Amino acid sequence: MGQFTGFKITLAQVFKKKLTSKYPKVKRDKPDRFHGRHVLNRYEDGMEKCIGCELCAGVCPAKCIYVRGKDNDPENPTSPGERFGYIYEINYLRCIHCDLCVEACPTEAITESKLFEFSFTNRNDAIYTKNELVVDENGRAQRMPWELWHGHEDEKSSGWMRATSASGNADYVGEVSWSNERGFGTRSAETKQVDEDK
């Protein structure tokens, strides 16, 4: 009798709606807080948000981030303030996408996109430099030949940072508490927090 129970389960699955999509041409939407490939953001005027403070490298448990700051040129500054990120590297062979670097960043310079499909053919491609991480003139992540982009994975690249920026306090629901970004301006506020005391 037990063998017929197994057939019953198998036959029931045959008539269920299929979840399979035409991947990789069709990709399912990712949650706002999904952790993927990093980007280094700019302000709307084009200045880089990274100030070379090295907090992201210090908090990284995988030790995959290497940052070196440098003093800004007073005549032609790269970022507002005294310093900027002169060298910025992330080793994706070590990164665990924990997003601690995003939470540690005081200027919202580093955020994560929704892209997670990498296909490296050599180890050097897995080490992203500042030139590959800084967003382009439209505020979009630069596309590398070994990445599978369909255009939407970087639209909400700051989802995790925005969600945690209010420190979970329901008094700040709907309040914008982060700076504008090149290509996106001021993004809408996080609205999903609730006051558990009420």
DSSP annotation of 124 reads G
Asked if pLDDT for residue 195 goes beyond 80, the answer is no
pLDDT at 193 exceeding the cut of 60 = no
- Report percent pLDDT > 70 for the chain: 84
| pLDDT at residue 161 tops 70 | no
Is the pLDDT at 173 greater than 60, yes or no? Answer: yes
Output the pLDDT for position 182: 85
Residue 193 belongs to a domain: no
pLDDT at residue 35 greater than cutoff 70: yes
**DSSP characters over 128-189:** E-HHHHB--TTSPPPPPTTB---S-TTTTTTHHHHHHTTTT-GGGTT---S--BTTTBSPPP
Q: What CATH number should be reported for the domain holding residue 144?
A: 3.30.70.3270
- Is residue 190 a part of any domain in this protein? no
Our count of domains for the chain comes to 1
Output 189 or 97, whichever has higher pLDDT: 97
The answer to whether position 140 is within a domain reads: yes
* Radius of gyration for the alpha carbons in the chain, expressed in angstroms and rounded: 21
User: Quick one: pLDDT at residue 192?
Assistant: 57
Q: Report if residue 66 sits inside a domain.
A: yes
Residue 59 lies in a domain: yes
Query: Domain span at residue 113?
Result: 22-172
- Among 2-6, 71-75, 114-118, 192-196, the range scoring the smallest mean pLDDT is 192-196
Which range of 13-27, 133-147, 175-189 scores highest in mean pLDDT? It is: 133-147
The gap from C-alpha 123 to its chain's centroid, in whole angstroms, comes to 22
Burial 92-123 (b: 16+ CB within 10 A, else e): eeebeeebbbbebbebbbbbbbbbeeeeeeee
